[in-house]
C-alpha cells in the first residue's frame, strides 16, 4: 500500500500537482511529475524523506522540469516510458505498456494512454486503488491532444473506464473549475454532476485540492468518459 501526499506546484499559472508516494511496508518513496523543486523539497524535508525514485507520466516540462535537480539532490532514479526515453530528462529506468514497477512492495501497473502525447502513461497501483493520470485525465475533462488523435484518445479513455469504480484518481493539474463548465454544458441535467461541482467548490473554498475523487463519479460526470461509443466521444471535439 502507498501513502500519497499532494504537492501544489506552479501555483496560479499552471496549477500543477506533483505527488509524493511512500510505500508503507518499506518506507521507499518517490516523487511523481516534479514540475518544480521548491515545494517538493520543502514537503520532503517536513516528512523526513529522501525519495529513491522520480516517476513521470509524460515528457512535458511542466511534469519533468524538477527531474535533474531532484535526481542529483537525492541520488534518485528517474523512471519513465521507454517510448519517451529520448525526451525525459535524466531517465534511468524505462517502463513499457502492460509492464510494472515496484515501489518497495507496492506494485504499479503501467498503462499506455497515447493522445495528449504519444508516450503518455498511467501509473496504476491496484492494491492501493490509486491511479496517477498526468495530463490524460483531469476532473471533468481530459488533456489537450498535442500529439495524438481523438480516435487514439478514445482507446485511452476506454482503458481508464475499465479500471474499478472505487479507484481514486490523481490528475496532473487543478483544472476542475474549467472542467465543470464544460461538463455542465454537455450534461445539464445530471444531478450527480451538481453534487460533484458542490464538493469541488467546498474543497476549493477550504484551500484543499479537489482530487482525489473516485473514478465512479468521473465515469458518470465527465462527458468524455460518459460517452458510450467512439461516435459519441468524437462529437465532443
Binding stretches for Zn ion (CB under 5 A) = 60, 135
Is 60 or 71 the residue whose CB approaches Zn ion more closely? 60
Q: How far apart are CA 174 and CA 190, in angstroms?
A: 22
Please report how close the Cβ of residue 182 comes to Fe ion at its closest, in angstroms.
17
61 sits in which H/E element: helix 61-64
Spatial CA neighbour of 229 closest among 138, 158, 149: 158
66 binds, among Fe ion, Zn ion, none (CB under 5 to 8 A by kind): none
65 binds, among Zn ion, Fe ion, none (CB under 5 to 8 A by kind): none
Please report how close the Cβ of residue 191 comes to Zn ion at its closest, in angstroms.
32
CB atoms within 10 A of CB 190: 16
Is 120 or 226 the residue whose CB approaches Fe ion more closely? 120
71 binds, among Fe ion, Zn ion, none (CB under 5 to 8 A by kind): none
The answer to whether the CB of 53 falls within 8 A of the CB of 67 is no
Is 120 or 184 the residue whose CB approaches Fe ion more closely? 120
Please list the alpha-helical segments (H only) found in 96-237: 150-161, 176-186, 191-205, 215-221, 223-226, 230-234
Binding stretches for Fe ion (CB under 5 A) = 62, 135, 172
Please report how close the Cβ of residue 50 comes to Fe ion at its closest, in angstroms.
26
Please report how close the Cβ of residue 120 comes to Zn ion at its closest, in angstroms.
8
Q: Dihedral, CA atoms, 212, 217, 218, 220, nearest 10 degrees?
A: 180
Is 28 or 35 the residue whose CB approaches Zn ion more closely? 35
Amino acid at each position: 500500500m502507498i501513502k500519497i501526499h499532494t504537492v501544489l506546484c506552479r501555483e496560479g499559472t499552471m496549477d500543477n500537482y506533483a505527488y509524493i508516494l511512500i510505500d508503507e511496508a518499506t518506507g521507499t518513496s518517490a516523487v511523481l511529475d516534479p514540475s518544480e523543486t521548491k515545494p517538493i523539497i520543502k514537503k520532503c524535508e517536513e516528512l523526513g524523506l529522501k525519495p529513491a525514485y522520480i516517476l513521470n507520466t509524460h515528457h512535458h516540462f511542466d511534469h519533468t522540469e524538477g527531474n535533474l535537480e531532484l535526481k542529483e539532490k537525492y541520488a534518485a532514479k528517474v523512471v519513465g516510458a521507454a517510448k519517451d526515453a529520448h525526451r525525459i530528462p535524466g531517465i534511468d529506468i524505462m517502463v513499457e505498456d502492460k509492464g510494472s514497477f515496484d515501489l518497495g512492495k507496492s506494485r504499479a501497473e503501467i498503462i499506455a494512454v497515447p493522445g495528449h502525447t504519444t508516450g503518455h502513461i498511467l501509473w496504476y497501483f491496484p492494491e492501493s486503488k490509486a491511479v496517477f493520470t498526468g495530463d490524460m485525465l483531469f476532473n471533468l475533462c481530459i488533456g489537450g491532444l498535442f500529439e495524438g488523435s481523438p480516435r487514439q484518445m478514445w482507446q485511452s479513455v476506454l482503458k481508464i473506464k475499465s479500471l474499478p469504480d472505487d479507484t481514486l484518481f490523481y490528475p496532473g493539474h487543478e483544472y476542475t473549475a474549467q472542467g465543470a463548465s464544460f461538463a455542465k454544458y454537455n450534461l445539464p441535467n445530471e444531478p450527480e454532476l451538481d453534487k460533484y461541482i458542490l464538493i469541488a467548490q467546498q474543497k476549493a473554498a477550504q484551500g484543499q485540492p479537489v482530487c482525489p475523487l473516485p473514478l465512479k463519479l468521473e465515469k458518470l460526470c465527465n462527458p468524455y468518459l460518459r460517452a458510450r461509443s467512439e461516435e459519441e466521444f468524437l462529437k465532443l471535439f
